[in-house]
Chains A and B, each alone.
Chain A
Amino acid sequence: MTDLPILSLMLLVPLVAGIVCLVVSSQTARTVALAATLIDFALGIVLWMKFDVGGAQWQFQESHALFAGFAWKLGIDGIALTLIMLSVFLMPICILASQSIEKRVGEYMAAFLLMEVLMIGVFAAQDLYLFYIFFEAGLIPMYLIIGIWGGAERIYASYKFFLYTLLGSIVMLIAMIWMAQQAGTTDIPTLMQYDFPVDAQKLLWLAFFASFAVKMPMWPVHTWLPDAHVQAPTAGSVILAGVLLKMGGYGFIRFSLPMFPEASAHYAWLIFWLSMIAVVVTSLIALVQHDMKKLIAYSSVAHMAIVTIGLFSFNVQGLEGSMVVMLSHGLVSGALFLCVGVIYDRLHTREIDRYGGLAINMPKYALLFMLFTMASIGLPGTSGFVGEFLSLSGIYQVSSWVAFIATTGIILGAAYMLYLYRRVVFGEQKNADAAAMPDLSVREWLMLGPIAAAVLWMGVYPESFLAPMRNDIAALDARLARAKPESDAKLTMGAPKPHEETAHEGGAH
């Protein structure tokens, strides 16, 4: 496409800046980190501009045989493009949100920049092992972010996060080694077209499932998420919810579905059951939380369940819907964690009961928080609606019962989000210190404003985001067609009514 290796450049900029951050003073580190993430965002925009919608499936490809056994091979399709955009869009906001971090600022910024490198790497890698390396290496900076800058229970949370995800992905590594030896290549686009024997597919699928289900996270292996979220610093939560969880969904859409279509169909009901349980159970759990971050964390699990349901509906609506839910959830849950962070910075508590009546002293905050609450519920006009509607209509074509249960998630989602909003923003001002909190500062506007704009953009004109991935979704759908599960609707064509009768009735009016 272009001579400039833009993907490598996007990896290099934060990497270099991260190393610089380690050696400079804390104020400089903040500036360097912000500048690097903004440069990466600018590069991301260039990437999006230059991306040829409807052109070749894989664009911006780079390949260098640097290592033994695998290659430095990068390239993106529309699906990866949107997720990379999400990452580079959220990163500068995370850096801005880290103003309240005061200890070891240089190392903190370095960890975040390294995180950015690894996230972009995961979405851009076109070599199986390269993907694994980026995927797995992300554990280190996140472990440090939670463990060093987290809350009171940070050590337990960081261990749980690390060991859970490591256990999941190590099984995937063995499966990858087997696949590469079977297919004789580590090239992901080639593997996406390779047909593994069905029996092997089933085992491989389970191995990949072990990794992605933990990352996603799916019920019942989601328990690391609330702990990690609650203990992580605000920006850590944003990255965790905004991008890291998407790696699970990306894994399903990039590996499990195209590489093992038959196995995916075989295990679709496993996914459906786990997702249905997740939607109902975690929504109910969210309803009784006293901790704001925990509530949003559980809502993430419920939203991710909608994603998996959509992915395994094996049709275009479901797949597109899942992608939009992922993007939308990345923005909205990130924004909700930022909203929590805004008031946490002022009062240093996440107890819902300590707040109340914020609409009186923080009207602008209340407005933005309202927008993101509505987007999380899936109100038409916001990004949440587009994704959830598409996912649910996708699954409706496969099973109306699954669709029915999954839809209760929307209702329960409205219940817990509105209940949260009412307790925090409306009602009396119970506590004097909460009532005295100042409204949003310029920095906080700069964080929340762009996300609000993006949420509305995606809600009103989702075509901008759907267009780049349309061909890729269609290709995936074609690949999955042979394994498509049968619909439970069993539509039977009625006998056509006699022509004369309609004409007669028409005439009667």
Chain B
Amino acid sequence: MDWMQSLRLAAPEELLSISGLVLLLASAWGQTAKDARAVNWLAVLVLAGAAAMVAPTLCQGIGGEAALAFGGLFSADAFAAFAKLLIFAAAGASLLVAPAFFERHGGYRAEFPVLVLFAVLGMCLMVSSTNLLTLYVGLELNSLAAYVLAAFLKADERSAEAGLKYFVLGALASGILLFGMSLTYGFTGTVSYAGIAAVTNAGLSKGALFGLTFMLAGLAFKISAVPFHMWTPDVYEGAPTPVTTFFASAPKVAALALTIRVTIEAFGGQTAAWQQIVGFAALASIVVGALGAIGQKNIKRLLAYSSINNVGFMLVGLAAASSEGVAAMLVYLAIYVPMTIGGFVAVLMLRDESGHQLEAISDLAGLSSTRPLIALGLGSVMFSMAGIPFFFGFWGKFVVFQAAVAAGLLPLALIAALGSVIGAFYYLKIVKVMYFDEPAGKATGHSDMVHDWLLAVSALFISPLGWLLTKGLGALAAIAAGVLFAAT
């Protein structure tokens, strides 16, 4: 009976793994572009199915004992459900835009959706982990799929380089994380979050503190927070754009949710030990992300720095170490995902006459007169990322600041807010290039229907209409965060 219960709780993950395996088999036979497209659509359907299975957990606010499966190794609670929904949405969007891109670069292959499915499965394990072992298994499953995805364009030098860089640095990060985990295990004698919490609540030994620090360093790699962000611009630039879309959205959600779980569930009793680390990483990410983006000439690199910057703002919410702060992070994530996807979809839509992707910022010149709708979409994304109100991106920053102020972190909130002004500068630059400069007339190629629709949906979400969602979004995020805090 207990096993049945566990299997039922992990049903979305089972669906993902079984369909991943079946589609992998199918792709061994179906090698034509048409088959690949079919597999792609099936993968999207699987993701939608998994989302439908997860949604009730979030709405009912299931948490605590009722959500624990496999003897406490895995928790299908509302918090995980919130993150999973975002991951599914992000992965689905990345899959939708992929075929058109790869068909122009030597043909689409069915392995792509399969790899994405396995990466998503790894992420699901990450966000559901209640144990250092689940954490590591999930993380590696996700990472291994991701390394291959980054190098998916075998013939393209930049893609191969991105894959290699990602692999070497990712392996290093995993090593650091493992080292931290082993220290934590050594000094607390357990690998379950609840066990670690029980030991550290009484007091944090030096060794466990070292363990915590190394674990946070490893996680900072995965969320690309400063000072472990160096790989991000190179990988984002080199990886095929649909893969970058995926990297910038889904794994970010998973790694951040994982960081929340580790800090709150395992070290929730010792907030003072990690608050400073997180606060520093937050401010450093905001400032470095903003300053680094200013000189960029490639839009994908710029968006990479922008994602570093955004992670910084989310970490401000974590630094608050309160239920409100975690809820604010989740709201931010829920706004960040469509914003990022909108941005990358707009980049994907920029093609010249012969269908080549345009990535240089100077190619965007005068886009507002040649392709007004793309310009409008990308412009909204930029203003939204800059956090200028009327666009929904402001709300994410706002709730995060609110949580930080409520937690008494006034200086942190103030410096973060001032950092957002630096960030505004380069977002404005994109708007300036698109709207003020004379048309370069390069982006003339046509885009696909799917791209149009995705951009339209994300633009609508971050438009002022998004404000109407604040209540529902806030309530769901509060449920998800509440579950996490009820457990500790």
**Is the Cβ of B428 less than 8 Å from the Cβ of A174?**
no
B475 to chain A: closest residue by CB: A68
Q: What chain A residues lie within 8 Å of B402 (beta carbons)?
A: 69, 177, 181
**Is the Cβ of B432 less than 8 Å from the Cβ of A158?**
yes
Given A136-B389, A159-B425, A177-B413: A147 and B470 interface contact (C-beta under 8 Å): no
Q: What chain A residues lie within 8 Å of B420 (beta carbons)?
A: 170
Cα A177 to Cα B413 with chains together (Å): 10
A132 within 8 A of B: yes
B414 to chain A, nearest CB (A): 5
Q: What chain A residues lie within 8 Å of B428 (beta carbons)?
A: 143, 159, 162-163
Choice from A104, A137, A159, A162 contacting B389 with Cβ under 8 Å: A137
Chain A 135-154, CB-CB to B under 8 Å as 1, else 0, gives 01101100110011000001
Given A68-B471, A174-B405: A147 and B425 interface contact (C-beta under 8 Å): no
Cα A104 to Cα B473 with chains together (Å): 37
Chain A 173-197, CB-CB to B under 8 Å as 1, else 0, gives 1100110010000000000000000
B406 within 8 A of A: yes
B152 within 8 A of A: no
- The interface size bin for chain B is 20 to 34
A166 within 8 A of B: yes
A444 to chain B, nearest CB (A): 29
B102 within 8 A of A: no
Cα A154 to Cα B383 with chains together (Å): 19
Cα A491 to Cα B405 with chains together (Å): 48
**Is the Cβ of B424 less than 8 Å from the Cβ of A163?**
yes
Q: What chain A residues lie within 8 Å of B70 (beta carbons)?
A: none
**Is the Cβ of A170 less than 8 Å from the Cβ of B471?**
no
B178 within 8 A of A: no
**Is the Cβ of A133 less than 8 Å from the Cβ of B390?**
yes
Choice from B368, B405, B470 contacting A178 with Cβ under 8 Å: B405
Given A66-B468, A137-B388, A162-B424: A147 and B417 interface contact (C-beta under 8 Å): no
Main secondary structure of the interface of A (DSSP, over half): helix
Q: What chain A residues lie within 8 Å of B467 (beta carbons)?
A: 66-67
A24 within 8 A of B: no
Q: What chain A residues lie within 8 Å of B473 (beta carbons)?
A: 68
**Is the Cβ of A154 less than 8 Å from the Cβ of B436?**
yes
A171 within 8 A of B: yes
Count of inter-chain pairs, beta carbons less than 8 A: 89
**Is the Cβ of A178 less than 8 Å from the Cβ of B410?**
yes
Given A155-B432, A162-B428: A137 and B421 interface contact (C-beta under 8 Å): no
Cα A17 to Cα B389 with chains together (Å): 21
Choice from B368, B383, B417, B470 contacting A171 with Cβ under 8 Å: B417
**Is the Cβ of A173 less than 8 Å from the Cβ of B417?**
yes
Cα A113 to Cα B222 with chains together (Å): 45
A15 to chain B: closest residue by CB: B464
Q: What chain A residues lie within 8 Å of B22 (beta carbons)?
A: none
**Is the Cβ of A167 less than 8 Å from the Cβ of B410?**
no
Chain B 407-421, CB-CB to A under 8 Å as 1, else 0, gives 000100110011011
B474 within 8 A of A: yes
Q: What chain A residues lie within 8 Å of B470 (beta carbons)?
A: 67-69
B305 within 8 A of A: no
A58 to chain B, nearest CB (A): 24
B429 to chain A: closest residue by CB: A159
Cα A385 to Cα B207 with chains together (Å): 76
Choice from A66, A69, A148, A167 contacting B435 with Cβ under 8 Å: A148
Given A166-B421, A167-B418, A170-B421: A144 and B435 interface contact (C-beta under 8 Å): yes
Chain B 361-399, CB-CB to A under 8 Å as 1, else 0, gives 000000011000000000000010000111000100011
Choice from B401, B471, B475 contacting A174 with Cβ under 8 Å: B401
Q: What chain B residues lie within 8 Å of A104 (beta carbons)?
A: 369
Q: What chain A residues lie within 8 Å of B388 (beta carbons)?
A: 136-137, 139-140, 166
**Is the Cβ of B474 less than 8 Å from the Cβ of A69?**
yes
Q: What chain B residues lie within 8 Å of A170 (beta carbons)?
A: 417-418, 420-421
A109 to chain B, nearest CB (A): 15
Cα A349 to Cα B418 with chains together (Å): 39
B82 to chain A, nearest CB (A): 16
Choice from B390, B399, B406, B418 contacting A137 with Cβ under 8 Å: B390
A142 to chain B, nearest CB (A): 12
B478 to chain A: closest residue by CB: A68
B420 to chain A: closest residue by CB: A170
**Is the Cβ of B432 less than 8 Å from the Cβ of A181?**
no
A156 to chain B, nearest CB (A): 11
Cα A221 to Cα B401 with chains together (Å): 26
Cα A136 to Cα B424 with chains together (Å): 13
Query: Which residues 268-290 of A sit at the B interface, judged by CB distance below 8 A?
Result: none
Q: What chain A residues lie within 8 Å of B432 (beta carbons)?
A: 147, 155, 158-159
Cα A143 to Cα B405 with chains together (Å): 30
Q: What chain B residues lie within 8 Å of A107 (beta carbons)?
A: 368
Query: Which residues 438-488 of B sit at the A interface, judged by CB distance below 8 A?
Result: 467-468, 470-471, 473-475
A179 to chain B: closest residue by CB: B405
Q: Give 24 pairs: A residue, B residue, CB < 8 Å, sorted on A.
A: A66-B468, A66-B471, A67-B468, A67-B470, A67-B471, A68-B470, A69-B474, A118-B390, A140-B388, A147-B432, A147-B435, A155-B436, A163-B428, A166-B388, A167-B421, A170-B417, A173-B398, A173-B417, A174-B413, A174-B417, A177-B413, A178-B405, A178-B410, A181-B402
Give me the 5 closest cross-chain CB pairs, A-B, nearest first: A137-B390, A68-B474, A133-B389, A68-B470, A147-B436
B: which residues have CB within 8 A of A?
368-369, 383, 388-390, 394, 398-399, 401-402, 405-406, 410, 413-414, 417-418, 420-421, 424-425, 428, 431-432, 435-436, 467-468, 470-471, 473-475
User: A69-B474, A148-B435 provided; 7 other pairs, C-beta below 8 A?
Assistant: A68-B474, A68-B475, A69-B402, A104-B369, A143-B431, A177-B401, A178-B405
